[in-house]
């Protein structure tokens, strides 16, 4: 449970950084009007799908989507001394 929460926090930080980077790059490189909106919408949809998958895993529902087990590795490292 703790591993999933840590993974959720790490994913939220990384996904927020990816969204910020896409938003920044779209502001730096001007593109015709509908293209930036479509790119932002696709990025938001992907981020929401990843967060929903993580929340489903937190609830105990198996989604079948493979993901990195960052939270389990951090939890294993944090309990090595205990």
At residue 52, the pLDDT reads: 85
Determine contact, residues 30/80, Cβ cutoff 8 Å: no
Assessment of whether the complete model's pTM goes beyond 0.75 = no
H-state helical runs in 1-82: 2-28, 34-58, 70-78
- Look up residue 55 and give its two tokens: 């929340």
Convert the pLDDT of each residue in 8-40 to its tens digit.
Answer: 788 889 999 999 999 999 999 888 989 999 999
Write the CA distances from 45 to 2, 51, 58, integer angstroms: 26, 10, 20
């Amino acid at each position: 449970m703790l591993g999933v929460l840590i993974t959720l926090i790490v994913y939220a930080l990384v996904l927020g950084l990816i969204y910020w980077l896409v938003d920044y790059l779209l502001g730096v490189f001007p593109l015709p009007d509908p293209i930036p909106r479509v790119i932002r919408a696709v990025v938001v949809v992907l981020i929401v799908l990843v967060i929903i998958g993580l929340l489903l895993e937190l609830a105990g529902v198996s989604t079948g989507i493979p993901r990195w087990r960052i939270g389990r590795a951090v939890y294993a490292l944090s309990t090595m001394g205990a």
